[in-house]
Amino acid sequence: MPDNPAEAPASDDRPRESDAPAAEAAGLAVGTVFLKPKKARPFFGRHPWVLDSAVLRIEGNPQPGDVVDLATHDGNFVARGLFNPESRIRVRLYAFDAAEKLDDAFWRKRIERAISLRKTLGFDDRSGAARLINSEGDDLSGLIVDRFADWLCVQFTARAMHCRVELICDILEETVRPAGILLRSTERGLGKLEGLHITDGLVRGRLPNGPVFINEHGLQFGVDLSEGQKTGFYLDQRDNRQAAARFAGGRRVLDMFCYSGGFSIACAKAGAASVLAVDGSAKATALAEANAGLNGAASVSVETSDAFKKLDALASAGERFGMVILDPPKFARSRSTLDEALRAYHRVNRQGVDLLEPGGILVTCSCSGVVSRDDFLMMLSGVAQRSGRSISILECRGAADDHPVSVSCLDGEYLTCVIARVV
């Protein structure tokens, strides 16, 4: 494999301008994307996504993954980024200084900067897991890297970034020294969105023999990387599990959408009277079962059921809980489905609140980026109104701190976790 994928792209055999490879290897632009008049403001504000609708014209013949300059309609430099003609995000921006080249040294420095933040945050314990690179939150739009003990899972959400897969793996190998690197596409529809077609699997080193075990706040979880489990492990909820567990002592807990049992096991170990963990996927409940066993969390019982049906059945049977945890999958994939998603959140939260005894604790989450914190709280206010219950927010939380969010790209803030008391 070439050292520099920009010189000889690994992912596609595209035809190139004769002088393009040299310019590209030096990290210089091979073309310029001019913005329509009055469209430059977000990019002076360092927003990294240049949508096709903002583009006036393109000079040169940039190919997918090539370095381009972004300029105002009258030719003033704005920023430097990577081009993808197949994405609505036509250019992703990485540098806002004309002197900064997007060469190998640049990517190395950016990746090292992200990894050094995790050291600062205390994630250098190799028995644990951490998100090492969080896309826009680390000024590396389109690249996500999670470390599970000694293994790295790399997720590309941008084709232009994927054009540099060999370079990125080289840098990750040198800086992290993992036992293996796996590619994993957890985002759906990348073929259509980005023209990106990835085969998941091992790209460097070796596969683990069975699940990789990680330590999270003193608890053990098995994470199945070799099976290609699409969802892996929800590292973003790490601290929310611990925050929820603080309220679990002595309570009967319902963990709806439990996946591999993160919230359930944390609550059981914090002294919950009992925990019912429910997920619609048999694979998920098998993981939850195994993880409960691994931690000696005997008070956890696991069930495979559809959440909406199970919530109804529990209500009909007159069951009551001291704590209800709701962590459903993303209900809204785009702005056009926002209203529909808010109705679904209302419905599931109403069902959850109806199962809570007076003074019970509701832990309710949304991982839909288009549902803002305000939208989510308004939805809960609707639930309070309809159910006639008083709901008070104790904590309003986001993703764990190894998932930083750039203030220039608040689109990266997708997770809301509200802990509330319901009387």
Binding site for ligand SAH (CB under 6 A): 234, 237, 257-260, 262-263, 279-281, 284, 306-307, 327-329
Pick the catalytic residue from 367, 396, 409, 417. Answer: 367
Least CB distance to ligand SAH at residue 376 (A): 16
Rounded to an integer, what distance in angstroms lies between the CA atom of residue 313 and that of residue 137? 41
Least CB distance to ligand SAH at residue 352 (A): 13
Specify the residue for token string 């049992």. 261
Rounded to an integer, what distance in angstroms lies between the CA atom of residue 35 and that of residue 12? 28
Least CB distance to ligand SAH at residue 234 (A): 4
Looking at residue 199, the DSSP 8-state letter turns out to be: -
Least CB distance to ligand SAH at residue 192 (A): 22
By beta-carbon proximity to ligand SAH, the closer residue of 72 and 240 is 240
By beta-carbon proximity to ligand SAH, the closer residue of 129 and 176 is 129
By beta-carbon proximity to ligand SAH, the closer residue of 135 and 237 is 237
By beta-carbon proximity to ligand SAH, the closer residue of 237 and 295 is 237
Structure tokens at 337: 């489905």
Q: Which helix (H) or strand (E) holds 111?
A: helix 104-120
Burial class (CB in 10 A: 0-12, 13-18, 19+), 38: exposed
Q: What is the DSSP string of 23-42?
A: HHHTT--SEEEEEPTT--HH
By beta-carbon proximity to ligand SAH, the closer residue of 327 and 354 is 327
Per-residue CA distances from 43 to 33, 86, 96, 119, 240 (Å):
13, 21, 9, 30, 33
Rounded to an integer, what distance in angstroms lies between the CA atom of residue 402 and that of residue 399? 8
By beta-carbon proximity to ligand SAH, the closer residue of 190 and 245 is 245
Please give the residue whose beta carbon sits closest to ligand SAH in the complex: 280
Phi then psi for residue 331, to 5 deg, are -85, -25
Per-residue CA distances from 99 to 76, 110, 279, 326, 363 (Å):
14, 16, 52, 48, 48
Rounded to an integer, what distance in angstroms lies between the CA atom of residue 124 and that of residue 118? 7
Whether 396 is catalytic is no
Least CB distance to ligand SAH at residue 323 (A): 14
Rounded to an integer, what distance in angstroms lies between the CA atom of residue 342 and that of residue 346? 6
Least CB distance to ligand SAH at residue 242 (A): 11
Per-residue CA distances from 273 to 250, 264, 268 (Å):
5, 12, 8
By beta-carbon proximity to ligand SAH, the closer residue of 174 and 306 is 306
Q: Which residues contact 336 (CB under 8 A, 6 or more apart)?
A: none
The torsion angle over the Cα atoms of residues 69, 70, 74 and 76, rounded to 10 degrees, is -70
Structure tokens at 147: 């470390």
Structure tokens at 161: 């970034």
Least CB distance to ligand SAH at residue 221 (A): 9
Specify the residue for token string 């803030």. 413
Catalytic amino acids?
A: 367
